[in-house]
Amino acid sequence: MVLEQSKLYADALKQVLADRHIEVDVKEQVAMVRFNRPKVRNAMSLNMWRAIPGIFKDLEADPQVRAIILCGADRDFCVGADIAEFSLVRKDVSQAKEYEEAVDACCDAIYTINKPTLAAIKGYCLGGAVHLAISCDFRFASKKAILGIPAAKLSIVYGVKGTRKLNSLVGITHAKRIFFTGEQFLAEKARDMGLIDHLCGLDSLTDESNKESGDTDEVMLAAFEFAKKLALSAPLSIIGAKTILNGLNSGMGDITFEAADEVIDQAAASQDYLEGRNAFIEKRQPRFTGK
């Protein structure tokens, strides 16, 4: 089973790099990992989730990389999972579990890498993309960035690892509002809640080609300058501090993974999940029944 999964992830990495759905560039010891599906607002395909662990494994082994920026091509960071493919890759409980395993493996790779990571957020950052962002050590965002987790609009339960990270950043009341309502909010609100570290005055650029490039906007510039500062710090100090801080932040408290899996699986097997998925594809308001 492990060998089969390893092959799946290796094949996904080859395909994603061949399709250029994720691009990796290194400049001044800073790696830029860019989601590159701008026509669908950089939505994450299953292959993309599966490819990230391999990409981050290579970056961790590269002595020329001292910091990593996660970003999106064109106008958006990422709108999260590609819901349009859910009917093929997440159609039942078994597939839903495999899908969530891929998401967790992806975000674990970002969270646990022994190098500092930054998310440069502009445009939309929704659903699973929030998990990507909060798996990074720091989050820079445009004032016009829009964040949210629409799980309640799809009858999906966010996984334990992503929920824990969000709760540790924003606190239980804000986390409940984000999950219960599924609402979208601007980056300034996200900063007030503690979800964003640094707010940038993006969109002051007048040149449209620069505005769309993804590398010349204010968010990327601010993130890149900060990443270069981090690249000057002692790597072993960062490894030690990150290991300890992440460890302190990883307690499960009174909830077990088994109890969490039960409610996650219940949602994945529900009629409401199918209704939410269809409503998204049909661009209409879902009609949930709680079944």
Summarize pLDDT for 192-203 with one digit per residue, the tens: 999 999 999 744
Q: Give the pLDDT score at 6.
A: 87
pLDDT above 90: percentage of residues in the chain: 79
Looking at residue 84, the DSSP 8-state letter turns out to be G
Longest distance between any two alpha carbons in the chain, whole Å: 54
Q: Tell me the fold of 2-215+226-282.
A: 2-enoyl-CoA Hydratase; Chain A, domain 1 (3.90.226)
Q: Give the pLDDT score at 3.
A: 64
- Report the range of poorest mean pLDDT among 145-149, 174-178, 253-257: 253-257
Summarize pLDDT for 74-118 with one digit per residue, the tens: 999 999 999 999 999 999 999 999 999 999 999 999 999 999 999
Q: Give the pLDDT score at 258.
A: 84
Assess contact for 42 and 78: CB atoms under 8 A. yes
Assess contact for 166 and 107: CB atoms under 8 A. no
Taking the C-alpha atoms of residue 275 and residue 153, their distance in angstroms, rounded to an integer, is 10
Taking the C-alpha atoms of residue 249 and residue 87, their distance in angstroms, rounded to an integer, is 35
Q: Token pair 């819901």 is at which residue?
A: 83
Taking the C-alpha atoms of residue 190 and residue 145, their distance in angstroms, rounded to an integer, is 9
Summarize pLDDT for 219-278 with one digit per residue, the tens: 999 999 999 999 999 998 999 899 888 888 876 566 677 888 888 899 999 999 999 999
Three-state DSSP at 34 gives strand
- 250 vs 185, which has greater pLDDT? 185
pLDDT above 70: percentage of residues in the chain: 92
- 243 vs 60, which has greater pLDDT? 60
Q: Give the pLDDT score at 252.
A: 59
Return mean pLDDT, the chain: 91
In 3D space, the residue among 184, 188, 223, 220 whose CA is nearest the CA of residue 79 turns out to be 184
pLDDT > 70? residue 209: no
**Sheet containing strand 184-186, strands side by side:** 124-126, 146-148, 184-186
Assess contact for 52 and 110: CB atoms under 8 A. yes
Q: Give the pLDDT score at 211.
A: 44
Instruction: Take residue 124 and report the two structure tokens written for it.
Output: 């939309």
In 3D space, the residue among 45, 62, 184 whose CA is nearest the CA of residue 106 turns out to be 45
| Whole-prediction pTM | 0.89
Cα dihedral 116→122→86→9 (10° resolution): -30
